[in-house]
């Protein structure tokens, strides 16, 4: 049973948590939701409205994780809700092709020139594991390079020094992953091109692909150093390996064309998710035609999924991406300005309170690292004072501000966040920083 003592304002959430613990490990279906890294009892969400979440006790919270990224237009955004309702009237699933699949694909390809063909799946994990299988088939090689703190889903070969919950709980990988599989994944420091060159020298002709988050979001927000992404593109082209850019988090968030557009780079394969599904479960892997045509039924690489291209998810994605495309000129500058105001405003309050804090931000995703040093890779991120972050998180939650419950998860906001939410957050942070200094 949960050992957390509920506040009077969250009695029903506490009861729901105790009930959930009878059925689910830790009472949750995804580990970070358990609040083990920040302490306190997690609220149980009943509904969302724009920038706000409302829990089972009727408490309202400004939402700064947005279902971990996809709610860029806000919760219960009317055009998305209406699109899902229309699709549901025709059936929730067919297991057969529908025109909506190509309708959504057309919108994705229009924003991502690197994607000539794609395939829909149901999660980011499916997308990345499929992209790696494709890269191995295309190159005839086995080794994959990833970067410490980058999270690409929970497939066996990708949990080596991963971010997200793996970083949150301080474990190097996962039990149940055979050594034979783990040895095929080489984890290198992010933002270090020399380490990548050295790996290719040490394993000449054996590396199939380099996979990375172009902006790390699962060790906290860590931007790429100048020329880092271009350097990776140059190395992989020289060595005959594929560059897989995992934009599950950054896709359609840091720009309409994601990080590829923002940083002006190309990729052999791209993975997408979150925003692409408008809040419903969707993943995408796509890229150059010569690689994608290796997939069955055209080629020898097998990948399949009963719910791939699910009509409800396609409808939500079409409505979301359609709105972003139509209103990009207003939405992305607004997201930039709003995120800058709240992220820098809170950082200024930390400075006034003499609380060590480092802000990393790219567009509408950011992290307040509780430390004074720069954060350019996972090793530096791990030096953060996670106990101080936990106190900060709890103090904000009690004031109706809900951050991601981990120092090592990026925060997000959406188009529904406005001036009143910014002011409320900065005011709450002013109060919270007093709690941070209490040890």
3-state secondary structure of 367: strand
Instruction: Report the percentage of the chain scoring pLDDT > 70.
Output: 94
Query: pLDDT tens digit string along 58-101?
Result: 999 999 999 999 999 999 999 999 999 999 999 999 999 999 99
- Whether the CA torsion 97, 98, 100, 106 is positive or negative: it is positive
- Whether the CA torsion 336, 341, 346, 349 is positive or negative: it is positive
Residues 87 and 65: their CA atoms lie apart, in Å, by: 27
pLDDT, the chain, mean:
93
Query: What pLDDT is stored for residue 1 in this prediction?
Result: 36
Query: What pLDDT is stored for residue 8 in this prediction?
Result: 60
CA dihedral 38, 47, 100, 120 (to 10 degrees): 20
Distances, alpha carbon 297 to alpha carbons 271, 293, 415, in Å:
20, 9, 40
Cα 94-99-101 angle, rounded to 5 deg: 80
Q: Which two tokens stand for residue 269?
A: 């394969």
Query: pLDDT tens digit string along 262-307?
Result: 999 999 999 999 999 999 999 999 999 999 999 999 999 999 999 9
Catalytic residues: 151, 246, 274
Domain with CATH 3.40.640.10 in the chain: 78-326
pTM listed for this prediction: 0.93
3-state secondary structure of 398: coil
Domain with CATH 3.90.1150.10 in the chain: 8-64+329-436
Percentage helix, strand, coil for the chain under 3-state DSSP, each rounded to 5 = 40, 15, 40
Owner of token pair 């004074």: 372
- Whether the CA torsion 195, 199, 205, 208 is positive or negative: it is negative
Closest CA to 278 of 315, 307, 329, 311: 315
180, HSE (Cβ side, Cα atoms, 13 Å): 0
What order of strands is seen across the sheet that includes strand 117-121? 117-121, 283-287, 269-273, 242-247, 207-212, 143-147, 185-188
Residues 252 and 73: their CA atoms lie apart, in Å, by: 11
Closest CA to 270 of 379, 109, 415: 109
Query: What pLDDT is stored for residue 439 in this prediction?
Result: 47
Closest CA to 220 of 428, 12, 360: 360
Query: What pLDDT is stored for residue 335 in this prediction?
Result: 98
Residues 435 and 374: their CA atoms lie apart, in Å, by: 24
- With b for 16 or more beta-carbon neighbours within 10 A and e for fewer, the 151-164 pattern comes to bbbbbbbbbbbbbb
Alpha helices in 112-263 (DSSP H): 124-139, 165-168, 179-182, 193-202, 228-239, 258-263
Residues 99 and 270: their CA atoms lie apart, in Å, by: 23
pLDDT band (50, 70, 90) for residue 7: low
User: 8-64+329-436: which CATH number, 3.10.150.10, 3.30.1340.30, 3.50.50.60, 3.90.1150.10?
Assistant: 3.90.1150.10
Mean pLDDT, residues 377-387: 96
Contact 286, 294 (CB under 8 A): no
Query: 78-326 adopts what CATH topology?
Result: 3.40.640
How many other C-beta atoms are found inside a 10 Å radius of the C-beta of residue 71?
Answer: 28
Closest CA to 33 of 41, 370, 10, 70: 41
């Amino acid at each position: 049973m949960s050992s957390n003592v509920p506040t009077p304002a969250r009695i029903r959430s506490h009861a729901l948590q105790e009930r959930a613990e009878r059925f689910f490990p830790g009472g949750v279906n995804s580990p970070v939701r358990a609040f083990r890294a920040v302490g306190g009892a997690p609220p149980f969400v009943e509904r969302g409205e724009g920038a706000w979440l409302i829990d089972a006790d009727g408490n309202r919270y400004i939402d700064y994780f947005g279902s971990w990224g996809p709610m860029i237009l806000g919760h219960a955004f009317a055009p998305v809700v209406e699109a899902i309702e229309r699709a549901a009237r025709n059936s929730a699933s067919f297991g057969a092709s529908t025109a909506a699949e190509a309708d959504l694909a057309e919108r994705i390809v229009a924003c991502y020139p690197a994607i000539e063909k794609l395939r829909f799946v149901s999660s980011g994990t499916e997308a990345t594991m499929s992209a790696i299988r494709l890269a191995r088939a295309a190159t005839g090689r086995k080794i994959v390079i990833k970067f410490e703190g980058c999270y690409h889903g929970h497939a066996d070969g990708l949990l080596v020094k991963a971010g997200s919950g793996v970083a949150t709980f301080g474990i190097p990988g996962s039990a149940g992953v055979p050594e034979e599989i783990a040895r095929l994944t080489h984890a290198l420091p992010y933002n270090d091109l020399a380490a990548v060159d050295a790996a290719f020298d040490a394993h000449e002709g054996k590396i199939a692909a380099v996979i990375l988050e172009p902006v790390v979001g699962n060790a906290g927000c860590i931007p790429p150093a100048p020329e880092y992404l271009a350097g990776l593109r140059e190395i992989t082209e020289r060595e005959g390996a594929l560059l897989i850019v995992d934009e599950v988090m950054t896709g359609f968030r840091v720009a309409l064309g994601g990080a590829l557009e923002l940083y002006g780079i190309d990729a052999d394969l791209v993975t997408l998710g979150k925003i692409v599904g408008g809040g419903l479960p969707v993943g995408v892997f796509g890229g150059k035609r010569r690689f994608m045509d290796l997939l069955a039924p055209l080629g020898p690489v097998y990948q399949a999924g009963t719910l791939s291209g699910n009509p409800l998810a396609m409808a939500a994605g079409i409505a979301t991406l359609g709105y972003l495309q139509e209103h990009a000129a207003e939405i992305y500058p607004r997201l930039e300005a709003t995120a800058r105001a709240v992220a820098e405003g809170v950082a200024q309050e930390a400075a006034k309170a003499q609380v060590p804090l480092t802000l990393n931000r790219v567009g509408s995703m950011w992290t307040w690292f509780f430390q004074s040093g720069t954060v350019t890779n996972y090793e530096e991120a791990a030096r953060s004072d996670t106990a101080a972050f936990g106190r900060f998180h709890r103090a904000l939650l009690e004031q109706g501000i809900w951050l991601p419950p981990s120092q090592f998860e990026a925060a997000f906001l959406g188009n529904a966040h406005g001036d009143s939410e910014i002011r409320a957050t900065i005011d709450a942070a002013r109060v919270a920083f007093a709690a941070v200094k209490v040890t």
